[in-house]
Amino acid sequence: MEYPDRCIRGIPRFDCLLEGGPHPSLRLYEFHRPSQERKEWHEESINWMADEDAIAFTLKQTNEDGSLQFKVGIAILAHIELNKLKKHHEDLFDYERRPMEGNKYHGNLLLRDGLRKERKNMIRSALAIMSEVILRENIQEKK
Amino acid sequence: MTDFPQETSPRTTPHSSRDYPLPVGLSDVTSDINGGPESLSFAGESDPLRQPREIIPRVDNPCVAEQLERLLSIIGQMIQLVKQERETRERKRREVNDMPPLPPLPPLHAYCDEDGSVLMEWLFPDLRVGFNIEPNSEDSGWHVVSNKKAREFTASGQLTNPRELIAHLLASIMANI
């Protein structure tokens, strides 16, 4: 499957950043939700940057109550970095494109179930170190 | 070669600390995607362990609190040892050339997780170090990851011999900041 060069992880809360600064905490990549398609994996939603509208689309995504889903901003991850992580930890980490109704950009980062926590945290931390955080206020400033 | 105790990544995995030791001697510490070193809290924090110490009274599980206190004590002791060594090194460097002093260590960040554990994260320009302190001490662990400026390695393990681990980590980290 072909992948865009980058993907976006929305940042819903300030505690996903360390002390609210530009560095993600492990909370940005929690992997709480079991994968709907793949047994023994958990998933974390992302949007693939398939076109130039993907960032604006992500920033406009809302919760069921109509509030903005990603109030804080976004983190950008390069596909090449995700691919390297996957190659080195094929048994632990994967990713996918999974378009859904109303979101053609949608995909998932995937983390294997049943790992010791430090192994999970190692993958979460690897995702954090490759993340480029862009705060919503800075995106708006650029417009 | 730096060899971590209790390292759990398969030896055949290229991304294990056995194949990619912590990069002692790395000179370029500018960061690409996460901002430069100036964006880390290198300045103005005299005690990098202040915030984790402050959360100890808020940790519900006494076993977690005890482990956290012990780990922070070990890190504090090791920092003092490494600081002494660094000060000696700085003095020597200044004698040779008028170089600026090395920056202080960035703060360690700690927070309570929903499952009763405590997570600690320590961010350096090209490295992230983490500890998870669990109610069952056998489940407690550590991890290290680096970006491409520090050879892109990943490593993790159980926290069964923290003194040896912290000594390895700090020696390597201090050599690179």
Q: What is the pLDDT of residues A41-83, one digit of tens each?
A: 999 999 999 999 999 999 999 999 999 999 999 999 999 999 9
Measured CA to CA, the distance from residue A122 to residue A26 in angstroms comes to: 9
CB atoms within 10 A of CB B21: 16
Contact partners, residue A62, CB within 8 Å, separation at least 6: A68, A69
Measured CA to CA, the distance from residue A125 to residue B104 in angstroms comes to: 23
Which site among A118, A127, A131 would you substitute to test the B interface, given the most B Cβ atoms closer than 10 Å to its Cβ?
A118
How many CB contacts within 8 angstroms connect chain A with chain B?
86
Q: Which residue is listed with tokens 């650029």?
A: A142
- Over 80: is that where the pLDDT of B162 sits? yes
| Residue A133 included in any domain | yes
Helix (DSSP H) and strand (DSSP E) numbers for chain A = 4, 7
Give the pair of three-digit tokens for residue B144: 């290290």
pLDDT in tens, B76-132: 999 888 778 777 877 777 766 665 566 678 899 999 988 999 999 999 888 999 999
Task: Enumerate the H helices of chain A as residue ranges.
Answer: 54-60, 79-88, 117-129, 136-142
ipTM for the assembly: 0.91
Measured CA to CA, the distance from residue B4 to residue B158 in angstroms comes to: 11
Mean pLDDT of B46-62: 93
List of chain A residues whose C-beta atoms are within 8 Å of the C-beta of residue B122: none
Measured CA to CA, the distance from residue B150 to residue B40 in angstroms comes to: 17
Q: Answer yes or no: do B119 and A26 touch at CB < 8 A.
A: yes
Kind and range of the H or E run holding A108: strand A106-112
Give the chain B residue whose CA is nearest to the CA of A27.
B113
Query: Would an 8 Å CB–CB cutoff place B133 in contact with chain A?
Result: no
Q: Answer yes or no: do A118 and B141 touch at CB < 8 A.
A: yes
| Residue A131 included in any domain | yes
Beta strands A6-11 and A41-48, pairing class:
antiparallel
List of chain A residues whose C-beta atoms are within 8 Å of the C-beta of residue B111: 15, 25
Q: In whole angstroms, how far apart are CA B95 and each of B86, B99, B103?
A: 14, 9, 18
Confidence band of B37 (pLDDT split at 50, 70, 90): very low
pLDDT of residue B99: 59
Q: Answer yes or no: do A132 and B34 touch at CB < 8 A.
A: yes
Task: Enumerate the H helices of chain B as residue ranges.
Answer: 50-55, 62-96, 162-174
- Give the domain extent around A106: 6-142
Query: Would an 8 Å CB–CB cutoff place B8 in contact with chain A?
Result: yes
Q: How far is CA A109 from the centre of its chain?
A: 7
| Residue A79 included in any domain | yes
| Residue A49 included in any domain | yes
For chain B, the domains span 37-174
Measured CA to CA, the distance from residue A7 to residue A95 in angstroms comes to: 11
Query: Would an 8 Å CB–CB cutoff place B112 in contact with chain A?
Result: no
Q: What b/e readout covers B33-55, taking b as 16+ CB neighbours within 10 angstroms?
A: bbbebeebbbeebeebbebbbeb
Q: Which of A117, A119, A129 sits opposite B134 (nearest CB)?
A: A117
List of chain A residues whose C-beta atoms are within 8 Å of the C-beta of residue B8: 116, 118-119
pLDDT of residue B175: 65
DSSP symbols for B80-112: HHHHHHHHHHHHHHHHHS-PPPPPPPPPEEEEE
Burial of A95 (0-12, 13-18, 19+ CB in 10 A): buried
Measured CA to CA, the distance from residue B154 to residue B160 in angstroms comes to: 19
List of chain B residues whose C-beta atoms are within 8 Å of the C-beta of residue A131: 33-34
Beta partners for B78? Answer: none
- Which residues of A have a CB under 8 Å from any CB of B? 15, 18-19, 21-23, 25-26, 84, 88-89, 116-119, 121-123, 125-126, 128-133
Q: Answer yes or no: do B128 and A18 touch at CB < 8 A.
A: no
CA-wise closest residue to A1 among A135, A74, A98, A126: A98
Measured CA to CA, the distance from residue B53 to residue B110 in angstroms comes to: 9
pLDDT of residue B150: 86
Mean pLDDT of B2-7: 45
Query: Which backbone phi and psi does B96 adopt, to 5 degrees?
Result: -80, -45
Q: How many domains does chain A have?
A: 1
Termini Cα distance of chain A: 33
Q: Answer yes or no: do B130 and A125 touch at CB < 8 A.
A: yes
pLDDT of residue B40: 37
Q: Which of A19, A89, A129 sits opposite B109 (nearest CB)?
A: A19
**A107: Cα within 13 Å, side-chain hemisphere:** 23
Confidence band of A142 (pLDDT split at 50, 70, 90): very low
List of chain B residues whose C-beta atoms are within 8 Å of the C-beta of residue A126: 145, 154
List of chain A residues whose C-beta atoms are within 8 Å of the C-beta of residue B144: 122
